[in-house]
Amino acid sequence: MEIDSVFPPDQFTYKYLTGPVKTPTEIDGSIKEGNCRLALQLYFYRVHKKFLEQDEVYLPGGYKSLGKFVFEEEPIDFDALQAGDILYAQNLRNKKGEKLHKDLETYKDKDEWLYHLHSAIYLGKIYRDSSERYVWHATNIEGGTALWTLDKFQYYYKPISVKRVAP
C-alpha cells in the first residue's frame, strides 16, 4: 500500500470541535481542519468506500453501536488486530509529555468518559522491511493528522477497546 496516497501528510489541521461531517460531499471537498472523528470518516470513505454517519462516529453512541468489539475494555492483543480496526483510547499525556488523569473515575459517569476517548485507525505492519506497527489518527499533539508507530501512540494514549467495522 502506498501509504501517502491514502494518508497524505498534513491532511488537515487539528481542531477539536470540527468533525465529523454530515455528508460524503463534504469529504470529497477540501477539508482544512478536523478532529479524530473526522479522521475515522476519511479512512472508511477513502479506503473502504463506506461513509460513516455522524451518529456512528460521535461518542458515546458510536462506541456503543458501530461495528463489533474485538476487545472491550480489556488488555488488547495487537497481534489479533486487522488493518482498519478502530482503537478507542484514553489520553495519557499531553503535548509536553506530562501525564494526564483521564481515568473513568475522574468523570461523572461512563458516558462522559466515553465521550472523551480518542479514536484512531490501527494499520498494523505497513512496510515490508519493518516489523513496526502503525496507527493513523488526528491529534492535537501533532496539530493534525499523523502516522505514528504503535509504540509512540501508546506513549500518549492507552488503548481501551477495539472495534471492527465490516467494509
CA-nearest of 100, 90, 97, 106 to 157 is 90
* Average pLDDT, 10 consecutive residues per value, the chain (167 residues): 56 89 88 92 90 94 94 97 96 93 89 95 92 94 93 97 90
151/117 Cα distance (integer angstroms): 18
Question: Residue with C-alpha cell 499523523?
Answer: 146
Per-residue pLDDT at 101: 85
CA-nearest of 128, 100, 134, 95 to 116 is 100
Domain count, the chain: 1
Per-residue pLDDT at 46: 86
Per-residue pLDDT at 10: 61
71/138 Cα distance (integer angstroms): 22
Domain that holds residue 133: 3-164
Q: What are phi and psi of 94, to 5 degrees?
A: -95, -170
Per-residue pLDDT at 83: 93
Please state the length of the chain. Answer: 167
Per-residue pLDDT at 1: 47
